[in-house]
Amino acid sequence: MEILVCARRVPDTSENEITLNSTTNDIEREELVYSVNESDNYAVEEALQIVDRTGGSVTVVTVGSEEDEEILRREMAMGASHGILLSDPAFTGSDGRGIASILKAFVAQGHYDLILTGVQADDGAAQVGGMLAAMLDYPFASLVNSIEVLDGKTLKVSREIEGGNKEISEIDLPCVLSIQTGINEPRYVGMRGIRAVASLTIPTYGASDLGVDASVVGKAGARVQRVDYYVPALGKTAEMLSGSREENIDRLVELVAAKGGLQ
């Protein structure tokens, strides 16, 4: 099976405090630690496991700039056969629809049985996979937390729904699935693996290579635009305990006892 995984490089929110830049048109990106978007990494692992069982190859694609090559190399060190960068100044400022349009143009040039994305990236929009499927007229399933290959034409997939329940469906190939975290245990990538792919050339395609419709990409083509970033005022402000650790523990014990938390 030929599998394409769409991935993105994002600030690692578990490692970073996100603050605003001085003009509040973006977050402060100077000191941020970046990594591959968490659910995208699960998607690559899932693709590798499917290919281990059925044969075929895994291609990882990202829309971005030269800096984003690092996540392609990382995923190739995990075992992906190809890493592709879609990059063009005209792509800067694209909204979700713009990103999906760029990916659609790339998909149209190849042949993929299965396309995976992560459930959502740093903007929490959970949009590109579903949009891409609709543009390709492929069936789509979101929040996928298990995949079983039934035959060359059909998958049995499970979606994560409310209360930890699972919705089981059959879906015909080719299709697009958005992968939920926890679907597998992504393999460890060592320095040795990274070094092995460090000098590979990453093929890069721009707007004219892909035949992307310029009217739907970039800032001018974006129908949804950010006006600014801000930190919301606290609704119900927490009483912050700011004493020494010992003092904080004493106060906390008092408060919890008052609420009936101590037997």
Partner 1 sequence: MTPRIFVYVGHKNGIADDCAVELLAAAKTISPITRPTAVVAGCGPEFDRVCESLRSSYAEVWKLAHDNLAYPNAELIRKALLKVLPSNNIVLVPHDHFGIDLAPGLSIKLNAAFVSDVVQLEGVEGSALNAVRQEFGGQVSTHVRCDLASGAVVTVRPGAFKPADNMLVSGSVIDKSGELGTLTSARRYLQTLVAEAGDVDITKHNVLISIGRGIQDKDNVGIAQELADVLGAAVSCSRPVVDAKWLEKSRQVGSSGKTVKPKVYLACGISGAFQHLAGIKGNPFIVAINKNPKAPIFQVADVGIVDDILEFLPELTNKIREMQSVTAK
How far is it, in rounded angstroms, from Cα 112 to Cα 138? 11
Q: Which of residues 147-176 bind partner 1 (CB under 8 A)?
A: 156, 158-172, 175
How far is it, in rounded angstroms, from Cα 35 to Cα 132? 23
Q: Which of residues 27-46 bind partner 1 (CB under 8 A)?
A: 27
Tokens of 21: 């830049």
Q: Which of residues 107-126 bind partner 1 (CB under 8 A)?
A: 119, 122-126
CB nearer partner 1, residue 191 or residue 262: 262
Q: Using the structure block, give the residue that is written with the tokens 């697009």.
A: 176
Tokens of 195: 């070094």
Q: Supply the minimum distance, in Å, between the C-beta of residue 128 and partner 1.
A: 8
Q: Supply the minimum distance, in Å, between the C-beta of residue 199 and partner 1.
A: 33
Check residue 11 for interaction with partner 1 (CB under 8 A).
Answer: yes
Q: Supply the minimum distance, in Å, between the C-beta of residue 244 and partner 1.
A: 10
Dihedral sign, CA of 180, 62, 69, 14? negative
CB nearer partner 1, residue 32 or residue 194: 32
The answer to whether residues 159 and 140 touch, using CB atoms and an 8 Å cutoff, is: no
Q: Using the structure block, give the residue that is written with the tokens 């659910």.
A: 39
Check residue 191 for interaction with partner 1 (CB under 8 A).
Answer: no
- Pick the closest to residue 120 from 135, 153, 142 (CA basis): 142
Residue 49 neighbours by CB distance under 10 Å:
17
Q: Supply the minimum distance, in Å, between the C-beta of residue 171 and partner 1.
A: 4
Q: Which of residues 200-259 bind partner 1 (CB under 8 A)?
A: 223-232, 234-236, 238-242, 245-246, 248-250, 252-253, 255-256, 259
Number of residues lying near partner 1 (CB under 8 A): 84
CB nearer partner 1, residue 3 or residue 197: 3
How far is it, in rounded angstroms, from Cα 210 to Cα 107? 9
CB nearer partner 1, residue 214 or residue 255: 255
